[in-house]
Amino acid sequence: MGLALDKKWLWDSWYVRDGETYHGFFLQADKALEDPELRHWNVTYGHATSTDLINWNYLGTCFAPADEPAWDDFTTWTGSVIAGDDGQWHLFYTGTSKSSNGKQQKIGHAVSDDLHNWTRVGDGQILDRNDTYEEFVPGQWHDRAFRDPWVMRDPDGDGWLMYFTARKADIPNAMEAGAIGFATSKDLFTWELQDPVYVGGFGELEVPQVFEARGKWYCLFCTAARFWSSEAISIAGPAMTGSHYLIADDPRGPWRIAPGPALDVSVFPKRYAARIVCDGAEMKLLGFNWSEKEGGQFKGEISNPDLVEITEDGLLRLAKSA
């Protein structure tokens, strides 16, 4: 059953390949907390390696919130890792502070030579919202969504692109305010915040992952059934919890909701925060397991991968278990 640890819950994960070895990074928390809902506020990063995405070697904790006081002294949440042109590995991550009660998310940067020991660049923070993006207002939404950075090379230039979970300001319908935020960089160190590349359809689009396949661009994301708008339901519904995707002809958009059926969803939480990992010519989907049946409990394990295929009309579909 994928990656499971006796003493820790595991959830959101991301992956990078170094030679023949896959490195998996994931959010983790001690089961001694007893209540899995407390995991979000007692989080560190775990690190494991694999050559087949099924059998994993757990290497322990590799990153954690900073000492107080700091902008990321409360939580370090979901991110991504990429190899830079400088010979280093670059981690981009979500941080929150105790001073904001974890409600105001920002984006940070750390570097490593070995994919396990990470050092913040300066104090770590590289990106914060502007007025285009929604601020936290009590009673309006449960947080200031500015998280889950996914970084990739710019296919049209020498720089880098960042996509992240956000919400657009001044959208009257809360379920239409979900956005894929966007930023650009020439060197991975200095970032310029841009307007979102996509807005609408959902209250939030979590854990985005952007990739190209067969001449099309895809933006994988996850969301809960309660965050679907009527527009999204008309295109990809019925509303369920799990992972779906946007589709475009260019990484800068315009992006659109892919027609249904949604990629990997269920009427109850089952697998969430999925990632597509390329294993040779195959695309494999991994995420964290929630439950085997409706009303089941959070399991806190990383699933075995499922194969993803591309249909003749360019849509993504689950194939069979790997």
For 124-148, write each residue's pLDDT tens digit. 999 999 999 999 988 889 999 999 9
> Strand pairing partners for 222?
206, 243
Quick count: other Cβ atoms within 10 Å of Cβ 136? 18
- Which residues, given as ranges, of the chain have pLDDT below 70? 1, 320-322
Separation CA 155–CA 167 (nearest Å): 26
Measured at the alpha carbon of residue 226, what is the angle toward residues 245 and 295, in degrees to the nearest 5? 105
> Strand pairing partners for 210?
219
Residue 322 has a pLDDT of 46
Per-position DSSP letters for 292-307, written without gaps between them = SSTTPPP--EEPPPEE
Pick left, alpha or beta for residue 170 (phi over 0 → left; psi -120 to 50 → alpha; otherwise beta).
left
Residue 274 has a pLDDT of 97
pTM: 0.97
Residue 290 has a pLDDT of 86
Q: Domain boundaries in the chain?
A: 69-321
| CATH superfamily, region 69-321 | Glycosyl hydrolase domain; family 43 (2.115.10.20)
